[in-house]
Amino acid sequence: MEKPSWLTEAEETLIRYCGEFSPLLIQKARGSFIYTKDGNKILDFTSGQMCSVFGHNHQKIVDAIRSATEESIHLLSTMLSPSVIELSKQLAALLPEGLDKCLFVNTGSESNEVAIRMAKLSTGGFEVIGFLGSWHGMTAGSQSSTYSHTRKGYGPVIPGSLSIPAPYAYRCPIKHCTNKCDNTCLEVGMEMADRQSVGAYAACIVEPVLSAAGIIALSPGYLKRLKVLCEERGMHLILDEAQTGFGRLGVNFGFELLETAPDFLTLSKTLGGGLPLAATITRKEIEEDCFSKGFINVTSHISDPLPAAVGLAMIDILINEKMAEHAAEKGAFLKEQLEALQDKYECIGDVRGQGLLLGMEIVRDRASKEPDIELGHRIADTCLQMGLSMNIVRIKGMSGVFRIAPPLSITKEEIGLGVEILDKAIQRSLNND
């Protein structure tokens, strides 16, 4: 597509932080759609940056923002507001015993930083294990445990950053399994980490579903075994639910499917519903231990009242509008439609995921499973031209996997429209139209 004049103008003053900017200038967003400046309507299969989990500009969120601006937007970090206290109480009530104490920041990076800092202070160690292909954020500590494509060119990461392979069943990382993980990669990975460790473990940080790595889901057996291995080594288990919280997998929180509660739960993208709000949640004993050791984590916008008011609206929507049930029902319907496309097109090697967080992997052929990243990018670009926003993993050397995460408020009619556009885009891309 020819670069529009407004984009050329924008690039004169904006740092290009994500490769090339989209060639579409967005004027507004409502529900499952975004609207361009020139009036085009685009179905959003990514919920913005996976954040507008209940749809763009949900009225309860808009009302919460409006109401909060009449009270207080920002306070001194040591001062609390009713909305912050109420949000901590309601979150703790949603979670099992052992996830009792909350801290509110702005982004997923920050929430993971807090968890890592507390784990280090609590254990006295400094080594943190993460998954290859993971994404936990862009700040120093979170970035050090992010093993996707954002590491090269920025110098050393924080000492003690160790990695293990993710259980990528479709492409076994240790060439052992075929399409079904038996956890051997976990045992091998931990043995490798032990060989590298200097005996100062602090934490292991994982996602219930690795999104940036191509929608790689952990199994209940995997996480249970990982928790045991962490306990044997004196490590805290941090579960990063940036994308899997607040109903997206068909349950309120992803760990409910995995039958194992972590020592730390971090929430971000879906907690704020499009606003910058994140949380770190842990056990009372860990909080008390860290407090006794002088824990401090002060930022300019910690415990701000306005985003906390939005968090309360998000809990209201989650519970009273039964969003987890919507995700389970609509996700099953969407997955059926994608599997029908898989039957139709040889280039769709795998369809996976749960609820409304699904992956569709594009390959040259199913026998070799060789990724066809170029075709995947053509399909994504064609979809956008036809009115469907799709997110594809664009990581050099990794598979071309579509991460499909529409708002939980999406209708079956909107899903049908999206699949229809995707079908036509695949046809055109295969024919190089």
Q: Let me know the angle formed at the C-alpha of 165 by 161 and 169, rounded to the nearest 5 degrees.
A: 155
Per-residue burial over 70-99, b if 16 or more Cβ lie within 10 Å, else e, is: eeeeebeeeeebebbeebbebbeeebeeeb
Among the listed residues 113, 135, 248, 287, the single catalytic one is 135
Among the listed residues 44, 207, 241, 304, the single catalytic one is 207
400: three-class secondary structure by DSSP: strand
Helix axes 82-94, 305-320, angle to 10 degrees: 40
Among the listed residues 227, 248, 269, 330, the single catalytic one is 269
C-alpha distance across the termini of the chain, in Å: 14
Question: Taking a C-beta distance cutoff of 8 angstroms, is the pair 29, 44 a contact?
Answer: yes
For residue 433, indicate whether it is catalytic. no
Among the listed residues 243, 287, 304, 337, the single catalytic one is 243
Q: Which two tokens stand for residue 213?
A: 């790595």
Among the listed residues 304, 378, 403, 414, the single catalytic one is 403
For residue 6, indicate whether it is catalytic. no
Q: Per DSSP, what are the bridge partners of residue 351?
A: 360
Question: Taking a C-beta distance cutoff of 8 angstroms, is the pair 185, 219 a contact?
Answer: no
For residue 63, indicate whether it is catalytic. no
For residue 135, indicate whether it is catalytic. yes
* 323 C-beta neighbours (distance < 10 Å), count: 25
Question: Taking a C-beta distance cutoff of 8 angstroms, is the pair 44, 289 a contact?
Answer: no
Among the listed residues 110, 113, 240, 361, the single catalytic one is 240
Q: Let me know the angle formed at the C-alpha of 179 by 175 and 185, rounded to the nearest 5 degrees.
A: 45
Quick one: 289 exposed, middle or buried, by C-beta within 10 A (0-12, 13-18, 19+)? Answer: middle
For residue 207, indicate whether it is catalytic. yes
Residues forming the active site: 135, 207, 240, 243, 269, 403
